[in-house]
Amino acid sequence: MSHLVSVNELADLMRDGAVRVIDVRWRLSVPGGSVQPEGVQEYLRGHIPGAVFVDLESELTRHGRPDEGRHPLPSTSQVQDATRRWGVNDGDVVVAYDDAGGLPAARAWWLLRQGGVDVRVLDGGWQAWKDAGGDTETGDVTPEPGTATLADVSRDSLTIDEAAEVPASGVLLDVRAPERFRGETEPLDPIAGHIPGAVNLPTGRHVASDGTLLDLKTLKKNFADAGIGDGTPVAAYCGSGITAAHTALVLAEAGIDAKIFHGSWSQWSNTPGRPVATGE
């Protein structure tokens, strides 16, 4: 089963009343320092009918210490409370979308999937929906609270010590931009470089110019070129755990199970004593 839905597939689900749509539009920063969650302004101006806005910063992550990373993994109870706010009940299908190539939506996909929810990501996101002439609406949506019960959302997430051990027996993917991996620049974290033994495969290489995923043959070649084959243990990390979820989504679409080091480089670089590699 695919972890994605097309615009037409989502429209069919909506006609059948068999889906809860969540809008996970999000920006890392907003010029001018808006006090509202990043993405909510765009949501209020227009969204897929019935979609509930998801605040990534308060519902899909939590505030923590610097040595926990910039977007620490939230607790199961936190995600469950959010899921119920979105109106999700046990057995519901959830479809997440964004306007950033699926990266924020993949964070929701990862957490809900770990929690046992039947969740998909809209391939191409908000732009694909608009390009197809899909109906839209403005304003906020406040559904009746749901009753969904989630399993442990952290079960396939690695600790910092576990992540350090991955290269010894598998592939640890660093999915950031190549210049950050090489240590040539670091715009957000205190130290530039990467985890020793990691392999660089930017998640952007899996996405077409229209925001949809590339064909399965290309995706599998990307992973094979990174040393990932059938049965290879693989884990992904990025800057703060958001983009790594997208790579996990792409891996799942290619039939490859993966784990995520959610603390990612922001945790590694803020933890004294951790070795740092630079270059290729």
Task: Please give the share of the chain, as a percent, with pLDDT higher than 70.
Answer: 96
- Worst-scoring range by mean pLDDT, 12-21, 63-72, 73-82, 233-242? 63-72
Alpha-carbon distance of 179 to 170, in angstroms, equals 23
- Fold: same for 4-131 and 160-268: yes
β-pairing, 118-122 with 171-174?
A: unpaired
CA-nearest of 230, 250, 247, 228 to 239 is 247
Q: Are 252 and 3 in contact (CB under 8 A)?
A: yes
Alpha-carbon distance of 198 to 196, in angstroms, equals 6
**Is the pLDDT at 247 greater than 80, yes or no?**
yes
Mean of pLDDT values over 93-112: 96
Architecture of the domain whose range is 160-268: 3-Layer(aba) Sandwich (3.40)
CA-nearest of 8, 17, 13 to 132 is 8
State the Cα angle at 177 between 172 and 180, rounded to 5°: 85
Dump pLDDT digits (tens) for 134-153.
999 999 999 999 999 999 99
Predicted structure pTM score: 0.94
**Is the pLDDT at 32 greater than 60, yes or no?**
no
Q: Are 85 and 60 in contact (CB under 8 A)?
A: no
Mean of pLDDT values over 208-223: 95
| Mean pLDDT over the full length of the chain | 93
Q: Are 173 and 236 in contact (CB under 8 A)?
A: yes
Q: Are 278 and 193 in contact (CB under 8 A)?
A: yes
CATH classification code of 4-131: 3.40.250.10
- Of 212 and 229, which is predicted with more confidence? 212
pLDDT of residue 1: 79
Domain ranges of the chain: 4-131, 160-268
- Worst-scoring range by mean pLDDT, 67-71, 118-122, 210-214, 275-279? 67-71
Catalytic residues: 238
CA-nearest of 89, 144, 153 to 115 is 153
Q: Are 195 and 237 in contact (CB under 8 A)?
A: yes
For CA atoms 35, 245, 153, 73, the dihedral sign is: negative
Q: Are 227 and 256 in contact (CB under 8 A)?
A: no
Dump pLDDT digits (tens) for 165-206.
999 999 999 999 999 999 999 998 999 999 999 999 999 999
Helix or strand run (H / E) with residue 20: strand 19-23
| pLDDT band, very low/low/confident/very high, at 29 (cuts 50, 70, 90) | low
pLDDT of residue 37: 52
> What single letter denotes the amino acid at residue 130?
K
- Worst-scoring range by mean pLDDT, 65-69, 128-132, 229-233? 65-69
Query: Given the structure tokens 């920006």, which residue do they identify?
Result: 27
| pLDDT band, very low/low/confident/very high, at 27 (cuts 50, 70, 90) | confident
Backbone angles phi, psi at 193, to 5 degrees: 130, -160
Mean of pLDDT values over 3-27: 94
How big is the chain, counted in residues? 280
DSSP string, 128-162: HHHHTT---B-S---PPP-------TTTTB--HHH
Mean of pLDDT values over 227-247: 94
pLDDT of residue 28: 63
**Is the pLDDT at 30 greater than 70, yes or no?**
no
Strands (E), 158-242: 171-174, 199-200, 234-237
**Is the pLDDT at 33 greater than 60, yes or no?**
no
CA-nearest of 2, 98, 16, 4 to 51 is 98
